[in-house]
Amino acid sequence: MELIEVKITALGSEGQGIGSLPSGKTCFVSGVFPGEVCLCELENETSKYAVCNAVEVIKESPDRTAPFRPADEVSGGLPFACLSYEAQLKFKETRVRDCLTRIGGFDEDLLKAVFRPVLGAEKPLRYRNHMQYAIRDGEVGLLCGKSDTLGDYDSELIEYEIFEKIKDMARGCFDRAPTRLFDGLVLRGSLRTKQILVEFVSSQDGPHEVILRDAERYFETTHLFDNICDTCEDNGYVLNGFLFRISPSKTSKRTRTGVRTIYSGIDYYDETFCGRTFRIKAGSFFQVNTEQAEKLANKASQACSGSRVIYDFYCGCGTLGLAVKQKGQKLLGIEVVPEAIQSAKINRSLSLDEQEASECEFICKDVLKADFAQLIKSGKILPPDVIIVDPPRKGLDIGVVKKVMELNSPKICYISCDPATLARDLKMITREYKIEEVTPVDLFPNSSHIETAVILSKSTQDGQ
């Protein structure tokens, strides 16, 4: 196949390099960075753009920290594994700015006034408290992009050291006793409480009782459970729970649901977050970078300072609201997932004393279906002084934006994991609110993702 020379001039939203074909058509190339010139093979072409695979870099960027390797040889999810951390932060800060100007329509003068420098990680290595590995032919690792094959990656860039040791121990067991029973391994835990959760995953779709029997027999005969226990203890950790999950569908694997069984111990671990204790159950959401998530919480706390009543939409297990709540403040958490609300109520008791806990209420309800006006009128809840919204990547439903604005809260704190949907939502919200501060926070070093905390206050006049 003919090789095409492409000069990379920018980075895309997913961290891929952007250049131009000789025809002038925009092309996307994974694994390369601005300033680099590479030789590429054409993979796919549409009327508007092309996707190419780099096979060689003939001119390297000064920001590159390791030699180039083709995208099909390395694990996905870490497009910036070979990019200096300083350059990573520059890209992420620029991405947030570009989305706010291009999608949100905010002018540069405003952004100069409200934009704060990106909050990077002091230690951008070994930061993830949650790893989801694939198991293929006895190997345990991360998949290459959207393929089903494992690729190489530098474990120091992402996973806790104890996770690496458990993973290597499991791989050794599969070498000695090959099996096709498992195709996933989920490790979660805390460097602070030294508690670990281990969960093996099977996608087999046979009778559950048969799959469970075979898994238990494998754990016992190979001493896999005992060896993982010893690995944890030898490194100063406690194995809180050893679980097995049957997730035969793609959806159940992606959402970490299915038939979950506790082989030994319990199905949760405790984490210390913002000086308070939280219980993290298997399958539940918790930010993967504990230290950086505390910086996000500090921004939310800044927005909530001096408020009497805090509403926390998409509260999940209650982590953010409970972390920022101060004595005397009332907290109302709203979440549609029943299991998350149950966890939030447990965390309320764990993280707060009896008096403060009595000031918190968690409601299992879809924000879109909640009649806040009626609840306030009936005296069941007080009107908010600040609303925290921490939606999934798709951002806020337009109906939720309307709900937020109808509540007429003096302040809003928007925590976003996607700059594009954040900019879209802010364009609507700023019809009645003004942006006080925008702060990107890097929770995902070596990836292209970025979180952003935005503080808004009720505008005294139309627009910004």
Distance, C-alpha 36 to centroid of its chain: 29
Cα separation, 413 vs 390, whole angstroms: 8
In terms of domains, do 259 and 316 share one?
no
Predicted confidence (pLDDT) per residue in 288-327, tens digit? 999 999 999 999 999 999 999 999 999 999 999 999 999 9
In terms of domains, do 189 and 314 share one?
no
Asked whether residue 103 is assigned to any structural domain, the reply reads: no
Asked whether residue 446 is assigned to any structural domain, the reply reads: yes
Asked whether residue 208 is assigned to any structural domain, the reply reads: yes
Give me the pLDDT at residue 157, please: 93
Q: Quick one: 129 exposed, middle or buried, by C-beta within 10 A (0-12, 13-18, 19+)?
A: buried
Cα separation, 151 vs 142, whole angstroms: 6
* 112 Cβ contact partners less than 8 Å away, ≥ 6 residues apart: none
Give me the pLDDT at residue 460, please: 72
Q: Is the dihedral of CA 256, 257, 263, 265 positive or negative?
A: positive
User: Could you say which of 82, 144, 173, 417 is catalytic?
Assistant: 417
In terms of domains, do 239 and 304 share one?
no
* Residue-wise DSSP of 256-318: T-SEEEEEEE-SEEEEEETTEEEEEETT----S-HHHHHHHHHHHHHHHTT-SEEEEET-TTS
In terms of domains, do 139 and 224 share one?
yes
Cα separation, 34 vs 16, whole angstroms: 10
In terms of domains, do 326 and 426 share one?
yes
In terms of domains, do 19 and 50 share one?
yes
In terms of domains, do 50 and 164 share one?
no
In terms of domains, do 216 and 292 share one?
no
The last residue of a domain, from among 227, 246, 273: 273
The last residue of a domain, from among 225, 240, 273: 273
- Strands 238-246 vs 195-202: parallel, antiparallel or unpaired: parallel
Q: What is the CATH number of the domain that holds 316?
A: 3.40.50.150
In terms of domains, do 238 and 328 share one?
no
What is the extent of the structural domain holding 58? 4-73
* Residue-wise DSSP of 10-68: EE-TTS-EEEE-TTS-EEEETT--TT-EEEEEEEEE-SSEEEEEEEEEEE--TTB-S--
Q: Are 324 and 399 in contact (CB under 8 A)?
A: no
In terms of domains, do 146 and 244 share one?
yes
- Strands 26-29 vs 184-189: parallel, antiparallel or unpaired: unpaired
Asked whether residue 93 is assigned to any structural domain, the reply reads: no
360 in catalytic set? no
Domain count, the chain: 3
Asked whether residue 116 is assigned to any structural domain, the reply reads: no
> Closest Cα partner for 77 from 446, 393, 419, 443?
446
Cα separation, 400 vs 387, whole angstroms: 12
In terms of domains, do 357 and 436 share one?
yes
Beta bridge pairs of residue 74:
152
Q: Which residues of the chain have pLDDT under 50?
A: 462-464
Q: Are 327 and 321 in contact (CB under 8 A)?
A: no
Beta bridge pairs of residue 412:
387, 456
Asked whether residue 267 is assigned to any structural domain, the reply reads: yes
Q: What is the CATH number of the domain that holds 235?
A: 2.40.50
* Residue spans of beta strands (DSSP E) within 346-408: 360-364, 386-389
Q: What is the CATH number of the domain that holds 23?
A: 2.40.50.140
In terms of domains, do 249 and 293 share one?
no
Predicted confidence (pLDDT) per residue in 196-208, tens digit? 999 999 999 889 9
Asked whether residue 155 is assigned to any structural domain, the reply reads: yes
Asked whether residue 114 is assigned to any structural domain, the reply reads: no
The last residue of a domain, from among 248, 273, 298: 273
299, 271, 418, 412: CA torsion to nearest 10: -30
Tell me if residue 88 falls in helix, strand or coil: helix
Cα separation, 231 vs 238, whole angstroms: 9
